[in-house]
Structure 1
Amino acid sequence: MTLTVSEEKNIPTKTHVLIFPFPAQGHLIPLLDFTHRLALRGGAALTITVLLTPKNLPFLSPLLSAGVNIETLILPFPSHPSIPPGVENVQDLPPSAFPSMIHALGDLHAPLLSWIASHPSPPVAIVSDFFLGWTQNLGIPRFEFSPSAAITCCILNTLWIDMPTKKHEDDEILEFSKIPNCPKYPWSHVSSIYRSYVRGDPTWGFVRDSFRDNVASWGLVVNSFTAMEGVYLDHLKREMGHDRVWAVGPILPVSGDNRGGPNSVSVDHVMSWLDARVDDHVVYVCFGSQAVLTKEQTLALASGLEKSGVHFVWAVKEPVEEDSSRGNILDGFDDRVAGRGLVIRGWAPQVAVLRHRAVGAFLTHCGWNSVMEAVVAGVLMLTWPMRADQYTDASLVVDQLRVGVRACEGPDTVPDPDELARVFADAVTGKQTERIKAVELRKAALDAVQERGSSVEDLDGFIQHVVSLGLNK
């Protein structure tokens, strides 16, 4: 039975759906933003429960404070020998402990099954992050949520199903001939999770099975939109053997960038500083929530900005630990660039900064959330991918969409300051083709989230499908 959203008032009982984010900031935030839109759009048709562990509950505060009717399920974080007591988020772990986080969350299977069985009105479906494929085995339809690009989903599915292996050196090129546009990457740019598994590490077996469960999931929700990745969305539908693939992006905060953290400069000061700058002539520099540059990289970037002569805002992430090789070593830099450079130590209001008329370019690590925020702002991207799906995102941005240019590549690469200076200067004075395409893609993104836009229609389609599951159970 198909039900339109406008007919929700005739539904006798609400349809219950469970949301389960993965505890990493880049995964939590987009799924919770999707949950917010789901609650607003689903209206009286849905009961929404969000599953979190205790220390991740603050991430839900923006939704709860917005008055959205969302219930919470708090389950204790399972203990794991490789995860220190009290740690419940990927940001607080070294990269080597990443599989431990996936394993630990897998131990929520039994308590989650018990909760579903004992609930007076149990959920008819679960929407869970693509690192939580094991939720496919809870006895209810599972919808995979991808906080990454559709092309990333294509690549991950191919890796874990076809299981390609490296034959020679790390610079060996791996081609994905079954995927549209035949993407190809050096082996070192392929998912580090996958590379760890094929090296023979037995602890990754659970992770392998979890990714394979993604391919068998009942449906897929992607933070992307048809005009940007239609060819890959169509491929996913063919690959999964059904049309239950919904592109609902760009998923952005419903009411501004209200996830502030500690910083050295107030939001008001950042905005007033930008107000005094010329349109499209400021370069914004930020590497996301996890990346910390080495001492050498920081010095090279500072030198490049200084030599370029451009106006810039640089969000510097403070090091988590005292480490002489990493972190902020910018003594005297602020004084030398006074008047044309603003350095923010800590959190920056990225959505607001990117959307400011003065910002024309964005040096980014190419995390998918940052890419989507830049797309909505219509800002030229200067790419510096370092890990995970960032290489795929950078290639999509530069080679296919042509809304960016390469600035650097790799977690340990130290860029040439003179070359960086040239890239910065050219970004705000040249690159007309890329800048025009960035503006065009922005329009397509905004069109997608307007009434009757492709992403709104997909969101409505998802809600209709979930409601039909409740009516037909």
Structure 2
Amino acid sequence: MAVEVARAAILADFFFPWTHHLAADLSVPRLVFYGVGPLLVSIFHRLWLDLPRPADPAALISFPSIPGSPSFSFSHLPSLYRRYVAGSGSPEWDFLRDEMVAGESAWAAVFNTFDALDGVYLCYLKGEMKFNRVFAVGPIHNALDRGGVTDVVAEELAAWLDGSPAKSVVYVCFGSQFTHGMAQGRALGEALEGTGARFVWCVGSDRVAGSDGKLVPEGFEERVKGRGMVVRGWAPQLEILRHRAVASFLTHCGWNSVLEGIVAGVMLLAWPMEADQFLNARVLVEEAGAAVLACAGGREIVPDPEELGKLLAESVNANAFVETRARSVEMGRKAKEAVLEGGSSFKDMEALVAELSELGLHNA
């Protein structure tokens, strides 16, 4: 008598490459989920194989086998790889590299992105990597009620935005992990104060990294009262970006922020700082044309307040960056269409479910 027996599979984040051993021991498929862009995965693939180790951090590393033949200075490569180079030779770092390479043998790869943004790299990965099942199912919806402690009442912020003209506000946020150096943070504050544009500035912690000083200058909020709001702690980013008053987003280009800004259809002002952010900025600025490079670098980079302030002002001027603004809106439309029935991500999700269904049951 034939009996149907359900079969399991493992879905694991790419930061857990060791799960390929578990999947092999259990004889089940392993799907790796990438909450990052496929350009990063493409770059990582070559880095782990080729292991470039230039003595000069400014040296350019080229990737001719990747579409567009991208080049990055060593200092702009993913920070995980740069830490590997600094620590290679130790058992821990060599174990990480071996696991990352072995982890590429997954049964399938699932990406939080969509074809209109990253199609060229998705196609590349299908031909380059050991897995040949590559599914882009994003942008994945984020819950509106996520977050942490904040000093701003949501209703107060919403009321301030409601009272702002359409497309008049710059939203400034660099994620939950980065903290400014004193000179850098003060330059940003000076730019915001001098620009004349309306803004919401999420400073996270007001304490400056490596200092007892505060990021927001004394008297700053009084001087910009009515024109700007400062959020300490967690900002309700999705609600802010989706508000009709917001025109632009000064962002560190972390992948979640990238997708949230794209879906909102706002113009992105890219300030990559670490990790995969320089790669993401390339996709946004040079390929999608939906962003403008505002600055590049971490705490060691201090922008000119006047130049940055000018850019912030232009980002809310409907007559400036007309083509970039149009591309932002278009990319936002394509992102939303991707997850609707018949869209590229909808179809990829259907294909993924179909593939899993085919191997999910067997006769015993």
Task: Extract unaligned runs of 5+ from structure 1.
Answer: 1-11, 16-122
User: SS in structure 1 opposite 2:141?
Assistant: coil
Distance 2:281 2:172 in 1: 16
Distance 1:326 1:385 in 2: 24
Distance 2:70 2:31 in 1: 26
1:47: which partner in 2?
Answer: none
Shift of the 161–407 alpha-carbon distance from structure 1 to 2, 3 Å rule, reads same
RMSD: 1.9
Contact 1:283 1:311 in 2 (8 A): yes
Pairwise mapping of residues 261-340 of structure 1 onto structure 2 (< 5 A)?
A: 261-318=148-205, 323-324=210-211, 328-340=215-227
Shift of the 187–322 alpha-carbon distance from structure 1 to 2, 3 Å rule, reads closer
Could you tell me how far 1:240 is from its partner in structure 2? 2.1
User: SS in structure 2 opposite 1:252?
Assistant: coil
Could you tell me how far 1:467 is from its partner in structure 2? 2.4
Could you tell me how far 1:201 is from its partner in structure 2? 4.4
1:90: which partner in 2?
Answer: none
2:69: which partner in 1?
Answer: 182
1:462: which partner in 2?
Answer: 352
Q: Describe the superposition over 1:368-409 as per-residue Cα deviations: whole angstroms up to 9, x where unpaired.
A: 000000000011111111111001001111111111111111
Distance 2:133 2:271 in 1: 34
User: SS in structure 1 opposite 2:292?
Assistant: strand
Task: State whether structure 2 residue 95 is matched by structure 1 residue 206.
Answer: yes
Distance 1:129 1:210 in 2: 13
Selected match of 2:325 from 435, 451, 455: 435
Could you tell me how far 1:288 is from its partner in structure 2? 0.4
Selected match of 2:287 from 382, 392, 400: 400
2:20: which partner in 1?
Answer: 136
Shift of the 431–221 alpha-carbon distance from structure 1 to 2, 3 Å rule, reads same
User: SS in structure 2 opposite 1:155?
Assistant: helix
Distance 2:131 2:188 in 1: 47
Selected match of 2:11 from 115, 122, 127: 127
Shift of the 250–327 alpha-carbon distance from structure 1 to 2, 3 Å rule, reads farther
Letter aligned with residue 428 of structure 1: V
Task: State whether structure 2 residue 54 is matched by structure 1 residue 156.
Answer: no
Q: Describe the superposition over 1:265-293 as per-residue Cα deviations: whole angstroms up to 9, x where unpaired.
A: 11111111111111111000000010011
User: SS in structure 1 opposite 2:361?
Assistant: helix
User: SS in structure 1 opposite 2:49?
Assistant: helix
Distance 2:358 2:21 in 1: 21
Task: Extract unaligned runs of 5+ from structure 2.
Answer: none
TM, length-normalised to structure 2: 0.92
Shift of the 469–228 alpha-carbon distance from structure 1 to 2, 3 Å rule, reads same
Task: State whether structure 2 residue 300 is matched by structure 1 residue 416.
Answer: no
1:360: which partner in 2?
Answer: 247
Contact 1:131 1:210 in 2 (8 A): no
Distance 1:346 1:235 in 2: 40
Deviates more, 1:176-185 or 1:137-146: 137-146
1:379: which partner in 2?
Answer: 266
Could you tell me how far 1:326 is from its partner in structure 2? 6.4
User: SS in structure 2 opposite 1:174?
Assistant: strand
How many residues matched?
A: 352
Task: State whether structure 2 residue 77 is matched by structure 1 residue 193.
Answer: no
User: SS in structure 2 opposite 1:250?
Assistant: coil
Could you tell me how far 1:169 is from its partner in structure 2? 1.2
Could you tell me how far 1:323 is from its partner in structure 2? 4.4
Q: Describe the superposition over 1:166-197 as per-residue Cα deviations: whole angstroms up to 9, x where unpaired.
A: 1x411100011000011110011112222232
Q: Describe the superposition over 1:11-33 as per-residue Cα deviations: whole angstroms up to 9, x where unpaired.
A: x77x5xxxxxxxxxxxxxxxxxx
Letter aligned with residue 344 of structure 1: V
User: SS in structure 2 opposite 1:249?
Assistant: coil
Shift of the 302–319 alpha-carbon distance from structure 1 to 2, 3 Å rule, reads closer
User: SS in structure 2 opposite 1:472?
Assistant: strand
Could you tell me how far 1:322 is from its partner in structure 2? 8.2
1:252: which partner in 2?
Answer: 141
Distance 2:224 2:343 in 1: 44
Distance 2:209 2:290 in 1: 37
Distance 1:325 1:466 in 2: 54
1:346: which partner in 2?
Answer: 233
Pairwise mapping of residues 42-191 of structure 1 onto structure 2 (< 5 A)?
A: 124-138=8-22, 139=24, 140-166=28-54, 168-191=55-78
Shift of the 399–453 alpha-carbon distance from structure 1 to 2, 3 Å rule, reads same
User: SS in structure 1 opposite 2:229?
Assistant: strand
1:113: which partner in 2?
Answer: none
Q: Percent identity at matched positions?
A: 42
Distance 1:193 1:132 in 2: 14
1:449: which partner in 2?
Answer: 339
Distance 1:148 1:326 in 2: 34
Letter aligned with residue 211 of structure 1: M
Contact 2:79 2:276 in 1 (8 A): no
Contact 2:67 2:124 in 1 (8 A): yes
Contact 2:106 2:130 in 1 (8 A): no
Could you tell me how far 1:129 is from its partner in structure 2? 1.0
Distance 1:173 1:337 in 2: 42
Shift of the 257–186 alpha-carbon distance from structure 1 to 2, 3 Å rule, reads same
Contact 1:353 1:359 in 2 (8 A): yes
Distance 1:201 1:350 in 2: 41
Distance 1:319 1:130 in 2: 33
Letter aligned with residue 302 of structure 1: G
Letter aligned with residue 67 of structure 2: P
Distance 2:110 2:335 in 1: 17
Contact 1:223 1:248 in 2 (8 A): yes
Letter aligned with residue 416 of structure 1: D
Shift of the 322–437 alpha-carbon distance from structure 1 to 2, 3 Å rule, reads closer
Letter aligned with residue 275 of structure 1: D
Contact 1:292 1:327 in 2 (8 A): no
